[in-house]
Amino acid sequence: MTTARSPNKPGALRALSLRAPLDLLFLFCCLILTADVLGPEIFGHGKTKDYALWYWAGQQVLHGGALYPSDIRNQFEFIYPPLPAILLAIPSWFGKIPLYVVLSILNAVAWWYTGMLSNAMTGADRKPGPWLEALPALVTVTFVFDMFDLGQPNLVLLAMMLWGFRLLQHRRSWSAGFMFALATAIKVFPVAVLPYLVWRRQWAAVVSMLAFIGILLYIVPAPIRGFERNAAELNTWYQGMVGSSSEKGFGQRDEQNWSWVNQSIIAVTHRLVRPINFNLEDPGKPVRTMNIIDVDYKTANWIVLAVSVLLGLGFIAVMPSQRQRTARSDAEELGILFCLMTVASPLARQYYFMWLFFPLTVLMHRAAFDARPKVQLGSWLALGAAGILMLLSLPPFPNAIQAWGNNLAATAILAVTLAWHIRHPPDAASSDAAAELKSQPS
């Protein structure tokens, strides 16, 4: 059982204040981003991107229509499990504008709590000032714009995962497992947290997550879709999204999987070892390749597996033992985990790197609060290097930079820097310095 924290203490969450200038700026940004969603729908020809798809999915549930084609060789419009469609059906019943308002509010709430949770979970022993607290949100604002503009749920999923780890820190393992399961049942890739929970022997969270995944995928939709129909749709979705992987692509988006828009470990590795046209998403563009060796599809998959295993072993190697864990090392460990979950997803488009919000926040706190000036400088330099790499994704720069994995490289810099912090905590540095002084003759 934990005691309530004062909102002025490190690790405490605070409420939004209308007296805080930066909180007012946050609200203003949310209004502008919501206007970007609602404006075209009210005054134009309708909001594009994924919003129309969410309305369609909700309407399919309301009218008993199919979510997926009967033939998995046909392209899926809706590439998510049935549960999200069930959730979308409720606001869709009221119409497009109410649905879009609900989705915008969810993104705004998720943005706020992502910032609050990230700042509260860095393991720092000092409370950040207003500008440091707001800095992660400011440097990731382009990703947030994508969340609102596209209508994608990655920001909401990030808030769910952070809340899950917050619950885990407060020994509420079953509730944490539910949050992880809900995120997984919506967009699958958060399932990557499961091996970490197993390694850290969070058995209650593991059991809870697996149980709730089953409940959310099979039990919750059954009263609405019918048990047999829901099971059949889940099977169709699995076959179309997971079972159809081939040299042409995977996950129903062949033209995107190998192109420059995907910066996952899988995609970048394949582009480096196979002669793949990274302009596949646009047939009008010339064929461009970037491979440094030429192997077949099967060999490329073995290389991906080897890289993934090495990354996993490297993560395990830098993890402190159970008795050496601290709030600080746990935050750095989770930062690396979020880096790995981001790039381990088979499809990691630009907006997926919104999940770097937490690793960025942890490093910013280290850069601001570490007692060692050189470590502070090194942390800021690492953040600057990662930031410059991510800026190369902006429209003025050629897509070839993204094909080479600029965001993937930025993620690697953040993860390596966090790993260094785990292996070189300030207490250890102080102890070494004290021992050295003690050994010197007087």
Residue 218 carries which DSSP code? I
Compute the average pLDDT of residues 189-216.
96
> Is a pLDDT exceeding 60 seen at residue 418?
yes
The DSSP element (H or E) to which 428 belongs, if any, is helix 426-439
Which pLDDT does position 75 carry in this prediction?
81
Instruction: Indicate the pLDDT class of residue 442, thresholds 50, 70 and 90.
Output: very low
Residue 112 carries which DSSP code? H
Which pLDDT does position 343 carry in this prediction?
96
How many CB atoms are located within 10 Å of the residue 205 CB?
29
Distance CA 225, CA 420 (A): 50
> Is a pLDDT exceeding 80 seen at residue 250?
no
Torsion sign over Cα 288, 411, 80, 244: positive
pLDDT digits (tens, 9 = 90+) for 271-307: 999 999 999 888 888 999 999 999 999 999 999 999 9
Distance CA 9, CA 272 (A): 48
Count H helices and E strands in the chain, helices first: 21, 0
Residue given tokens 């600057």 in the structure block: 384
38 vs 9, 28, 52, 147, 323, CA distance in Å?
Answer: 39, 15, 12, 14, 52
Written as one string, the DSSP assignment of 173-193 is HHHHHHHHHHHHHHHSGGGGH
> Is a pLDDT exceeding 60 seen at residue 236?
yes
Calculate the CA dihedral of residues 197, 198, 201, 203 and round it to 10 degrees.
80
Computed over every residue of the chain, the mean pLDDT equals 90
How many CB atoms are located within 10 Å of the residue 126 CB?
12
Compute the average pLDDT of residues 377-386.
97
pTM of the model: 0.92
314-318 long-range contacts, CB within 8 A, separation 24+? 314/419, 315/340, 316/199, 318/419, 318/422, 318/423
> Is a pLDDT exceeding 50 seen at residue 436?
no
Distance CA 75, CA 324 (A): 50
Compute the average pLDDT of residues 192-217.
96
Q: Which among 12, 13, 358 has a CA at the least distance from the CA of 157?
A: 358
> Is a pLDDT exceeding 90 seen at residue 119?
yes
> Is a pLDDT exceeding 50 seen at residue 435?
no
Which pLDDT does position 154 carry in this prediction?
96
pLDDT digits (tens, 9 = 90+) for 38-81: 998 888 887 778 899 999 999 999 999 999 888 777 888 888 99
Which pLDDT does position 352 carry in this prediction?
95
